[in-house]
Chain A
Amino acid sequence: MNNAHPGLPDFVEYVKPASLEEASKFLVAHAGESRPFLGATDCIVRMRDGIWKTKYLVDVKGLDGTNQITFDPAVGLTIGAAVPMNKVAAHPAVIKHYPLLAEACHWVASYQLRSRATIVGNICNASPAGDTIGASMLLEGVLRVFGPDGYRDEPLNGFFKGPGRTNLKPGDIAVSVSFPLPPQGNSGRYIKLGRNKLGDLAIVGVTAFGYPDSSAASGYRFRIALASVAPIPLRVPKAEELLASKPIDEAVLAEAAQLAYESCTPIDDVRGSARYRKQMVRNLTRNALVDIWSKIRKDA
């Protein structure tokens, strides 16, 4: 084969287990040289480039409901791990109750890539730049995992340990991600700054979410997640606490954006300098908060 761009290395094998148990056992028996995959959009690039030396690509699509997306107003939304982003973003319940998730999906790469790429793959890949991770965290996503000891739930807040590192262990297979019904009167925004409008990883990504809440001193609660500015997708609890306690106005929103600026620890890379990233975190966080505030404030 004389392709200018070669494919996967010759040693790569494709494995299609018949059940989650079989998949999990295989992954344990071949720990370090196997990985589960869904859309393969991260796997193919990483393995082709030799960054991952994986031998066995274990296809977990279609096992035990991973292809389904279900919505029940009493319970919320459950997205099977193998459901590609285009299907998520086009689902009526997502458009109606979780538009932030659809907006985040829309910022990933291109239409064709989203025919394959999944939210669960985005989460398990644990890139600090993952575009759908912020929305998934702010909407209180919980990953359902099948592992050597059976099923367990992994809330996304606390799930990420470093670039590409999570609470998942060999033999663990994420089967779905679930979201409770979001609070009444909410609004969310994802602002992605890339080198171009589409198809590039985020230089900075700001996801914000807000809703009226009479149990908060300010009458409102906000949640903020930052992409590409720390080793993990970052929440900003200090800013969230401020916005729950102080009466909201433009100055307080700007103060919260300043706290986001202070809490992030970006690096310099080809996409942007650390200094630029920090400043953009402040500006974009403020823009996102102002926009949400204009939509959820009750005195408007």
Chain B
Amino acid sequence: MSFHRITIRINGNLEQVDVPGNLTLLQMLRDKLGLTGTKNGCASGECGACTVILNGDAVNSCMVVAAECDGAEITTIEGLASSGDLDMVQKMILEEGGVQCGFCTPGILMSARALLNRNPHPTEFDIRDAISGNLCRCTGYNRIVTAISRAAEAESAAVK
């Protein structure tokens, strides 16, 4: 087994990691870097619990080979509130009660953050499309959709 030394910017910090070729980004985050906020639900690209932002795009980290991330910029759920203040999508999910067991929540938040970064004024369709790969067995999605829509409104009001 050969290792690859990769340099990544993770939640704003530069890190060097030695990864074997068979490691997924999800395994690297959880098992090498101790960032266990990113969840392993299916390891098959189906559930979205492992969603992180890779070079600006929401991706399933279980579907990415860690070794190919050399030079990449990665944001995980731990990076959302790194300054101590909750991100707007986190605040609104809490206010709306869009969390029950919480297993899907880190993934949903990362999908939502990536959406608002690329599209500050999403329609309900855009929101549902952005979280189409995030399965939630508890909430029934409506409160999550409302929360993301309120986060978008609050952020654009703050910009004005």
Contacts and interface: CB of A to CB of B under 8 A. Distances in A.
A9 B68 contact: no
Contact of A12 (B21, B63, B64): B21
Contacts, number: 104
B133 interface: yes
B72 interface: no
Given A12-B22, A14-B4, A61-B68, A3 B133 contact: no
Interface residues of B, number: 37
Interface string B118-158: 00000000000111111000000000000000000000000
A124 to B, nearest CB: 17
Contacts of B42: 5
A195 interface: no
Contact of B40 (A4, A13, A14): A4
A199 interface: yes
B133 A40 contact: no
A109 B24 CA distance: 20
Contact of A41 (B4, B63, B68, B130): B63
B57 interface: yes
A66 to B, nearest CB: 14
Which 7 interchain pairs have the tightest Cβ spacing?
A110-B133, A14-B21, A5-B43, A12-B22, A8-B22, A14-B67, A115-B57
Interface of B: 1-2, 4, 20-24, 26-27, 31, 40, 42-46, 48, 51, 54, 57-60, 62-65, 67-68, 111, 129-134
